[in-house]
Structure 1
Amino acid sequence: MRPSTLLLTALSTGSLVAAAPSFTPKPSTTKSTNPFEGKTQFVNPKWAAKLDQTFWNLLKKGDILNALKVPKIQATMSTFVWVSRRSELVNIDDAIAAARKAQKLTGKKQIVGLVLYNLPDRDCSAGESAGELSSAQNGLEIYKEEFVKPFAEKVAAAKDLTFAVVLEPDSLANLVTNMGIEFCANAADVYREGIAHAINALQYDHVHLYIDAAHGGWLGWDPNLPLAAKEFAKVVKLAGEKGGNKIRGFVTNVSNYNPFHAKVRENYTEWSNSWDESHYVSSLAPFLEEEGLPSRFIVDQGRVHLPGARKEWGEWCNVEPAGFGMAPTTKTNNTHVDAIVWVKPGGESDGQCGMAGAPRAGEWFDEYAQMLVKNADPSVFKLF
């Protein structure tokens, strides 16, 4: 994503490394039970089916070792289901049916990951994932009535399942750092009202909400941390008087490439305390607590860059080389983190940028999928 004016100012003044907050955190009153504990993260058969192409293409190349890894990924690796326009609401129905089937066959409770992603004027700073709705054409009312309402009705009716819902990737982060972009400034109130409405619409005991908090390379710089927490608090307050009670927490690194625990600290992270996603979570947590918000997270590790793959943190599109990251788990060695998850389904393009031959955002990019298999984290094949 584009660096903010605030970040550039901080770099020029050498003020990025700040002392730890001196305030006493306000205790969060949200339920302490981790919704991922004791449950199986849903393995989406629709995404798994796309990897059939990857399997056969690797075989055709004579790469038998990596081809044989694909069935393991298909059978065991969970990914979130994206609902990015009204026509994709059916994805929820498909996920519910498949999760119920898996729950019946295995006897294990399923937690289904969903991404609610269809704000009017979406992706205001980059445009690669611009959506179907415009605030200039009654987009906010359409979003509420024709997108959020049926979304909520579908998950409300599936009380035999548990849901983890990611709310609107990139949206509020743009309000923290990119208000100098006219399109983002004009979209700000629409974003806030839309997300607050979604929070209220999804208040069910079996539904757990995680607001997108970008990633360490975007909001993790010291000057941005308190601003991000205040922006999140503004939206949650808009959703109602109970504030943080209405959300479970936050999600980081959605569709990005940052490792949870970096094996090598990249040069471009030198002035940041949030140099991997675990450090980012720990950096942001006290600022959230000061605002009365829950300091609990899930972290996307669907794709992780290899050391040296990026020259700067702003490279976000089909980064190479990269591999599938840590396998989804609740064992994170960070008390703020509910779970490692795969929000971005690996193999789906970020847009027509980055690695050569990349198709439009969301379309299948099999050359990229093959690379992710070859470079996958060892935990993916732990039982292989």
Structure 2
Amino acid sequence: MLPSVALLSLLAAAPFSVVAHPTKDVNPFLGKNYYANSHYASELEETKAAFLKKNDTLNAARVTTVQRTGTFVWVSSVAGLSGIDTAIAEARQELRRTRKQQIVQLVLYDLPDRDCSAGDSAGEFSSADGGLEKYKTEFVDKFAKAVSSAPDLSFAVVLEPDSLGNVITNQAIEFCASASPIYEEGIAYAISKLQFPNVSLYIDAAHGGWLGWADNLPLAAAEFSKVLKLAQTFKKGATIRGFATDVSNFNPYIANPRANYTEWSPSYDEQHYALSLAPYLRNASVPHHFIIDVGRSGLQNSREEWGDWCNVKAGYGERPTTETGTEIVDSLVWVKPAGESDGACGPEIDGEGAPGAGLWWDKYAQQTVQLANPPLAPTYL
């Protein structure tokens, strides 16, 4: 049952009221403002200044639009946990200002032995040094405590990008094989600790070019079911809302036309990936709602191979919305902050190479603004 008008008025007037707990079938994004990440907005000031230096006021105004668009906050270290407190404080300010419910979008990303296949985004914990227990007590528990302090807000949390994709497909890599049980237990523990009525959990499900092949779909569903059952051993009844796809990748939501390298895949775009994976999840009694990262999906077919993942030439995609045209897709979202590098790899821009993973690359941010599809509307005020 949706909250009454009277309850919504109470929430707006008193931002420390508890968000009404929706039924399982209610889209948690529906009717809410998507919190705009202030840290990302501050990074984009350099981008705006670069356009203004070239007297490009149109693209500078488009940057302002991006700064006001809801994007995820990546919490990827113990030190980064303070970002949750900042997001909560700012979302509460918006709640008071707009009298509209807010959804804060977070990425939980600090597993031991992180990024086992590539290593570009390795984290602070190692399983060789008690990393799993540190992850639980120093990171997940504190993450959960921070989120639990804001029952007046809604949260969407993406759990550990790429991790289970590596478990499913990269067992031939020794480091991934040894990391797999660590990943499974860590994610299961995080699920169990984040069972709050105002928190919607989405396990990262890689993307259509990774797990969407016909042979991989049943393997993916089986792995996700395994992790959810493990979470239920930590906390009875633990559950998730669904899955996040295309996080930090470049696949279109709806391909037009489909890329040649997708020829033999049923998951040639992210809409078809969700529709292809959902029946396997349903058969395994796993929740099957999706959010899809389209933050860098505006420029279709810009790469030669589906496996190209590093700083691919890109533009912002569709704006975050619940109007997805697909019942099982809760929202199109912007998870990856375009402009933050994937690593010191990928094509150069104007002779300049990319910096290390997570570092700001302003030329890339400028490119993403210019190549946005649909084009970004300018904001001059």
Deviations, residues 153-210 of structure 1 (Å, cap 9, x unaligned):
0001100100000000000010110001000000111111101100000010011100
Q: Letter of the aligned partner of 2:332 in structure 1?
A: I
Q: Is the 8 A contact 1:237 1:243 kept in 2?
A: no
Match of residue 81 from structure 1: 73
Q: Letter of the aligned partner of 2:316 in structure 1?
A: F
Q: Letter of the aligned partner of 1:299 in structure 2?
A: I
Match of 2:90 among 95, 98, 102: 98
Q: Letter of the aligned partner of 2:368 in structure 1?
A: L
Match of 1:353 among 345, 354, 357: 345
Match of 2:43 among 42, 50, 66: 50
- For 1:58 and 1:146, the matched residues in 2 are separated by 41
Match of residue 368 from structure 1: 364
Match of residue 244 from structure 2: 251
Q: Letter of the aligned partner of 2:267 in structure 1?
A: S
- For 1:382 and 1:228, the matched residues in 2 are separated by 41
Q: Is the 8 A contact 1:89 1:151 kept in 2?
A: yes
Q: Letter of the aligned partner of 1:64 in structure 2?
A: T
RMSD: 1.6
Q: Is the 8 A contact 2:209 2:306 kept in 1?
A: yes
Q: Letter of the aligned partner of 2:223 in structure 1?
A: E
TM-score, normalised with respect to structure 1: 0.89
Report matched runs for 1:178-327 at 5 Å: 178-240=170-232, 246-304=239-297, 306-320=299-313, 322-327=314-319
Match of residue 378 from structure 1: 374
Match of residue 143 from structure 2: 151
Q: Is the 8 A contact 2:231 2:238 kept in 1?
A: no
- The percent identity for this pair of structures is 59
Match of residue 18 from structure 1: none
Match of 2:126 among 134, 142, 152: 134
Report matched runs for 1:115-126 at 5 Å: 115-126=107-118
Q: Is the 8 A contact 2:192 2:238 kept in 1?
A: no
Match of residue 27 from structure 1: none
SS in 1 for 2:105: strand
How far apart are residue 59 of structure 1 and its match?
1.9
Q: Is the 8 A contact 1:305 1:319 kept in 2?
A: no
Q: Letter of the aligned partner of 2:367 in structure 1?
A: M
Deviations, residues 234-292 of structure 1 (Å, cap 9, x unaligned):
00000116888610100000000001011221110011110000010000000000110
- For 2:326 and 2:121, the matched residues in 1 are separated by 32
Q: Is the 8 A contact 1:208 1:248 kept in 2?
A: yes
SS in 2 for 1:260: coil
Q: Letter of the aligned partner of 2:365 in structure 1?
A: A
- For 1:155 and 1:175, the matched residues in 2 are separated by 28
Change (3 A) 1:274 1:367: same
- For 1:367 and 1:182, the matched residues in 2 are separated by 36
How far apart are residue 38 of structure 1 and its match?
1.1
Q: Is the 8 A contact 2:298 2:318 kept in 1?
A: no
How far apart are residue 379 of structure 1 and its match?
6.4
- For 1:288 and 1:103, the matched residues in 2 are separated by 35
- For 1:63 and 1:157, the matched residues in 2 are separated by 43
- For 1:179 and 1:130, the matched residues in 2 are separated by 18
Structure with the larger RCO, 1 or 2 (CA within 8 Å, 6+ apart):
1
Q: Is the 8 A contact 2:245 2:293 kept in 1?
A: yes
Deviations, residues 133-166 of structure 1 (Å, cap 9, x unaligned):
0000000000000000000000011001000000
What stretches of structure 2 of length at least 5 have no aligned partner?
Answer: 1-22
SS in 2 for 1:299: strand
Q: Letter of the aligned partner of 1:239 in structure 2?
A: A
Q: Is the 8 A contact 2:315 2:368 kept in 1?
A: yes
How far apart are residue 305 of structure 1 and its match?
5.5
Quick check: 126-135 or 354-363, which moved more? 354-363
- For 2:238 and 2:187, the matched residues in 1 are separated by 15
Q: Letter of the aligned partner of 1:381 in structure 2?
A: A
SS in 2 for 1:364: coil
How far apart are residue 304 of structure 1 and its match?
1.4
Structure 1 residue 41 corresponds to structure 2 residue 34: yes
How far apart are residue 380 of structure 1 and its match?
4.0
- For 1:99 and 1:305, the matched residues in 2 are separated by 28
Change (3 A) 1:66 1:382: closer
- For 1:175 and 1:115, the matched residues in 2 are separated by 19
- For 1:333 and 1:202, the matched residues in 2 are separated by 29
Structure 1 residue 62 corresponds to structure 2 residue 30: no
- For 2:237 and 2:323, the matched residues in 1 are separated by 25
Q: Is the 8 A contact 1:349 1:364 kept in 2?
A: yes
How far apart are residue 69 of structure 1 and its match?
1.3
Q: Letter of the aligned partner of 1:138 in structure 2?
A: G
How far apart are residue 63 of structure 1 and its match?
2.7
SS in 2 for 1:246: coil
TM-score, normalised with respect to structure 2: 0.90
What stretches of structure 1 of length at least 5 have no aligned partner?
Answer: 1-29
Q: Is the 8 A contact 2:298 2:373 kept in 1?
A: no
- For 2:326 and 2:237, the matched residues in 1 are separated by 21
